[in-house]
Amino acid sequence: MPEVTDAQLEELAERFKALSDPSRLAVLRRLMAGEAAVGEIAEDIGHSQPNVSRHLAALKRAGFVRGERDGQSIYYSISDPVVVKLCELLCGNPRAKRRAPGGRP
C-alpha cells in the first residue's frame, strides 16, 4: 500500500461513510443508468424528494456526484468513476459474500 497520511485516511473514511447508507447506494445505482433530476431519482427509487436531496448532498460532499442546473432543475450524475467500480466490485459480484474465518462460507 502506498504511503498514506492520516488526513488522507480521514478523507477516505468520510467517503466510505457516504456509501454506508442503502438509500445512497440506491441513488448511485439509479445514476449509473444516467443523469437525472431529484424528482426522477425520488420516483425511481421510491423515496421522497427531500430525502433524496439530503442523500445527494452527502454524495456530492464526498465527491461522488455532481449537479448541473438546467433552468429550475438540477440534473445529477456520477462525477467519480471510482464509485462505479466500487459498486461493481462490492455490489455487483454475487460471489463477494461475507466469508467466515478460514475461507468457509
| Domain residue ranges in the chain | 6-90
C-alpha 58 chain-centroid distance: 9
Q: In angstroms, rounded to a whole number, what is the distance separating the alpha carbons of residues 46 and 40?
A: 10
Task: Please check the confidence at residue 61 and state whether its pLDDT lies above 50.
Answer: yes
pLDDT (mean) for 8-35: 92
* Amino acid (1-letter code) at residue 20: S
- d(CA 80, CA 104) in angstroms, rounded, equals 34
Residue 104 has pLDDT above 50, yes or no: no
Q: Report whether 32 contacts 65 (CB < 8 A).
A: no
CATH code: domain 6-90 is 1.10.10.10
DSSP 3-state of 105: coil
Share of the chain above pLDDT 90, in %: 64
Distance CA 10, CA 7 (A): 5
**Rounded Cα–Cα distance for residues 23 and 20 (Å):** 9
pTM for the model: 0.79
Residue 100: what pLDDT?
A: 46
Q: Which residue has the higher pLDDT, 70 or 87?
A: 70
